[in-house]
Amino acid sequence: MSTENQEYSSKSIQVLEGLEAVRKRPGMYVGSTGPMGLHHLVYEVVDNSIDEAVAGFCNHIRVTIHKEDIIEVSDNGRGIPVDKHEKYNVSALEIVMTKLHAGGKFDNKTYKISGGLHGVGVSVVNALSEWLEVRVARDGKIYSQRYNCGVKEYDVKPVGKSETNGTQVKFRADSKIFETTEYNFDVLSKRLRELAFLNKGIKIEIRDLRKKEEKFHIFQFNGGIVTFIEHLNEAKNALHPKPIYFEYIKDDIQLEVAMEYNDGYAENVFAYVNNINTTEGGTHVSGFHAALTKTFNDYLKKYELDKKFNAVISGDDTREGLTAVLSLKIPNPQFEGQTKTKLGNSEVKGLVQTAVSEKLAVFFDENPKIGKIIIEKTMQAAKAREAARKARELARRKNELSSESLPGKLADCSERNPDLCELYIVEGDSAGGSAKQARDRTFQAILPLWGKMLNVEKARISKIIENDKLMPIIATLGAGIGEDFDVSKIRYSKIIIMADADVDGSHIRTLLLTFFFRYMRPLVENENIYIAMPPLYKIWAQDKIFYAFNDEEREKIVKNEFKTDKINIQRYKGLGEMNPDQLWDTTMNPASRSIIRVTCEDIVAAETMFSVLMGDQVEPRRKFIEEYAKEVKNLDI
């Protein structure tokens, strides 16, 4: 090994000053340089306004997307302080905009409740913006300062007068850092709607001025998380007329809980701490689960229903068909990691368990009819759980879930390291046969499916385990299902859905995605699921062959590649029409294929969408189709 030019001395040590570290490693601060990180910039600025609202000084927040994807966030809060800081001898506004871990959220006085615990929010936005301009209205004046890539253009200065207070931050994300600087109006709207639900009464506006036809939403929910529950359950059949709601305040800790049962089978508990969605749960969720189990079993004993049903309700039984929102406001939350997705405060579990147990017991006593309906639903879940247990035992006895007895239709790969293996779930035996011939047997496995499978949105797990379309998938993946699913045991790191580019193929993809989301969600959260993208057209003349994935691409190829040739164009009706070589070249060769990774940035939005598209309620689905019908392209694909 050559040691030339490998001197390691003090000259090799770099010190990144100010915001240089952020520009050097942006992913550490906003998650990624893709669309998720781009939208995170907006959330960081909005969160500062929300903190002002929670503190009681702001009730109106505006987000505007200007042309060229310039973002403007304004509020009517107190305005960031502009007076000089004693230690640094510059305006407090400049410190907030340029120094990491600087802000008013560390003394528990300025902001008792805050999501921005690390104090890096707006300074990171400044560092990752091509330019940023901040205006502060306070003390009768308007102050301004502008930055370029985090470097100030001028000192904080007064530029006018104002009778109101507030802060306005306007910026353009740096295209040299982000893969795209185009914002998605719907993505931003969903997050702002969520914040409006969690902070009752606050008015949040979003406007998109990039096109002639302006888009806008105004979110204001005086019902708070009760309205949130009604929104989440809009496409479901609720078992009681109104959500159960209660509030619990002790010292500086505030807990709000809203919950409603429906006739479905999925559990959807959304937990927030200081407006942050704790997707990995934590002590507050553990306390909530424990409270449900205790309260329901106490109810059974009180009315001697435990003898009638001869069963003890498990925690999972109490959460079947439950939609709940927990909103916890706490001065010093201890999150696990910068991602803030799991709460670690040990004292919170007992507080939540006590609060929910007391309030829910009172509700059941005051509303015996609703209590009886919910308990009966829970007992049905217990019976179904027992049926599912027996079905699992039967399946194990038949060795259908063991690795020694994999499905007969599976063409497995020779590689045994899951990180190197791919599973293609292929629509139909014909396409499955072509895929088996086309694949690289070393690392690619093929599982053909036939016919339409079960819509799991309308079925309990006991039915799923008995289903002949889904059992081969469960057996092939080898990681269990539902509460028993263990993502660490999957046999393939990439699970690729390969279906025809038509309506039936789209339906099969949707059914499979519903199954994975409901009963193997870690596969979605860990981004193990992919969608294959087979071409729609083959275009050739003489010895030149091209493939196009849509009409626009076909026209471009025809125009640019075949100027004088007589062109042949074949439109593929299905995967089975391709020979193995074509299938390998276009859809299965890692060096040339196009596949889409399935991600889930917004669990709340995904939950709502699956309920709307795959649930029993027709009206929400009709409204969705009417709203988005104009945006549909290639309807037959």
How many angstroms separate the CA atoms of 334 and 313, rounded?
32
State whether the Cα torsion 230-236-237-240 is positive or negative: negative
Name the active-site residue from 504, 561, 565, 619: 504
User: What's the residue count for the chain?
Assistant: 637
Task: Decide if 525 is catalytic.
Answer: no
Which contacts (CB < 8 Å, 24+ apart) does range 76-79 have? 76/164, 76/165, 76/166, 77/49, 77/52, 77/53, 77/165, 77/166, 77/167, 78/52, 78/138, 78/165, 79/136, 79/137, 79/138, 79/165, 79/166, 79/167
Count other C-beta atoms under 10 Å from residue 233's C-beta: 20
How many angstroms separate the CA atoms of 262 and 544, rounded?
58
Closest C-alpha among 316, 323, 263, 325 to residue 290: 316
Residue 499 corresponds to which amino acid?
A
How many angstroms separate the CA atoms of 27 and 24, rounded?
9
Name the active-site residue from 47, 208, 320, 427: 427
Residues 6 or more apart whose Cβ sits within 8 Å of residue 58: 49, 52, 75, 76, 77, 78, 166, 202
Contact 170, 70 (CB under 8 A): yes
Reading the block at residue 445, the tokens are 């496995």
How many angstroms separate the CA atoms of 223 and 225, rounded?
6
Phi, psi of 379 (to 5 degrees): -65, -35
Task: Decide if 415 is catalytic.
Answer: no
What does R_g of the chain's alpha carbons equal in angstroms?
Answer: 28
Name the active-site residue from 502, 525, 601, 602: 502
Q: Integer distance in angstroms from the first to the last C-alpha of the chain?
A: 55
Task: Decide if 502 is catalytic.
Answer: yes
Phi, psi of 463 (to 5 degrees): -70, -35
Closest C-alpha among 224, 219, 223, 194 to residue 206: 219
Reading the block at residue 359, the tokens are 């309030």
How many angstroms separate the CA atoms of 221 and 225, rounded?
8
Contact 461, 265 (CB under 8 A): yes
How many angstroms separate the CA atoms of 624 and 618, rounded?
10
Residue 510 corresponds to which amino acid?
T
Closest C-alpha among 496, 506, 495, 494 to residue 574: 506
The secondary structure of 75-113 as a DSSP string is: E-SS----SBPTTT-SBHHHHHHH-TT-SSSSSSSS-SS
Task: Decide if 504 is catalytic.
Answer: yes
- Active-site residue numbers? 427, 500, 502, 504
